[in-house]
Structure 1
Amino acid sequence: MKSIVILISGRGSNMTALLDAVASGELPLRVAAVISNRADAGGLAVAAAAGVPTCVLEHRGFASRADFDAALAERIDAFAPDLVVLAGFLRILGDDFVNHFAGRLLNIHPSLLPAFPGLDTHRRALAEGVRVHGCTVHFVTPALDHGPIIVQAAVPVVDGDDEDSLAARVLAAEHRVYPLAVRWWAEGRLHLESGRVRVDSSPADVPPTLIVPAAART
């Protein structure tokens, strides 16, 4: 059975969605460990309660970003995972780290990339007046938030939305598509070809862009 390591910095709600999918049998894999760069990350207790090994590697204890990245890569490699999953990991990872895990490092970003890379995506989407927002699961490359896209979920922006209401709708969509993308990977159905992702299809699949209605809120 394939294994993953999940990286978090906070409550780890996407991590929880993945753990729930593993527990239900939806995800045919093993979570080898959850690693956080913050000792106070709420997701550590959630992972421990699910019986998943956890560890903390505080980035503030390292003299440089490169030193932290190297130590983090070494810690991950000790678990020998097939895939590394970023689930609210609030650190920009350097090129050496990303290249070390090339093709086996996933992230979820709260926008429909390539729109709104970086931070404050919901505020920026509202300021631009977009009518459709969402999230993207992608392979990580050295270019920030520009890796090959696996799956996206689109949600409407409705009259009266503020950052909190829009963020809640997008987060609900994230919890649907991240386990889906990781399942496709676990089943060997993701293929990187010339910088793009091809997904082997199945009659039971949802499309690679999932439309989440406005009523689907948390």
Structure 2
Amino acid sequence: MRRRRIAILISGRGSNSATLMAAARSTEFPGEVVLVMSNRPEAEGLARAREAGIATGVVDHTSYNDRESFDEALHAMLEAHAVDVVCLAGFMRVLTDAFVERWAGRMINIHPSLLPLFRGTKTHQRALDAGVLVHGCTVHFVVPELDAGPIIAQAAIPVVPGDTAEALSARVLAQEHLLYPRALQMVCDGSATLVGERVVFAGSWAPTGSMRSPD
């Protein structure tokens, strides 16, 4: 099977992008990271990618008058690098419906909550405010509705007495670094595919650890 060509989109330090790049360095991984791109020229994660010998690109959103023209430039760069799969890793831009639909089934995101709970931002404080006993992270296919795409995998952690948003964030981030590469592998090797509005699991996939099992 041909290794899938992966692009990672970031806006900041890119800690999740670093774990994806590390996983894809293995020749046994079914994909290779060919591009790390940001909407912010100063994003720390770009330097990490360059150090790893991976191509980088910047599409500065402040240079565009509207979301549509920004997304067109983003799409053009992805196509120029013959990208198969797009990973959002702390990419803090809301993409247009047209862009998302172009990449339907080929674009995934990691979100710091157990979706469908706590879509959007400030998820850790919201989890504490809601009094939930379990929190975590989710990898999902991207659809036009924010944080609403079909779920590929989830990891859960307990909320313990005395937890703060910062403490929760750190523990969830550790799970993100484990979960995202495993979920990306499933997408790249075809064991998790988007069919209609749900994820179909096949092939070598089997529920292990904290991975989400199929319905």
The alignment-based identity, stated in percent, is: 52
1:114-193 pair list within 5 angstroms: 114-193=116-195
Match of 2:65 among 63, 66, 81: 63
CA shift in 2, pair 1:145/1:127, >3 Å: same
Q: Deviations over 1:10-58 (max 9, x none)?
A: 0101100101111244633211110000011000010001110001111
Using the alignment, how far apart are the partners of 1:201 and 1:43 within structure 2?
33
The 8 Å contact of residues 111 and 117 in structure 1, kept in 2 or not, is answered as yes
Using the alignment, how far apart are the partners of 1:173 and 1:26 within structure 2?
22
Task: List gaps (5 residues or longer) in structure 1.
Answer: 211-218
Q: Secondary structure at the match of 2:25?
A: helix
Deviation at 1:122? 0.5
Partner of 1:31: 33
Using the alignment, how far apart are the partners of 1:4 and 1:94 within structure 2?
21
Deviation at 1:205? 5.0
The 8 Å contact of residues 34 and 53 in structure 1, kept in 2 or not, is answered as yes
Using the alignment, how far apart are the partners of 1:205 and 1:24 within structure 2?
22
Partner of 1:209: 212
Deviation at 1:69? 1.0
Aligned length: 210
Match of 1:12 among 11, 14, 20: 14
1:84 aligns with 2:102: no
Deviation at 1:80? 1.1
What TM-score do the two structures reach when normalised by structure 2? 0.93
Match of 2:99 among 97, 100, 112: 97
Q: Secondary structure at the match of 1:151?
A: strand
The 8 Å contact of residues 190 and 203 in structure 2, kept in 1 or not, is answered as no
Task: List gaps (5 residues or longer) in structure 2.
Answer: none
Partner of 1:215: none
CA shift in 2, pair 1:26/1:158, >3 Å: farther
Using the alignment, how far apart are the partners of 2:133 and 2:212 within structure 1?
16
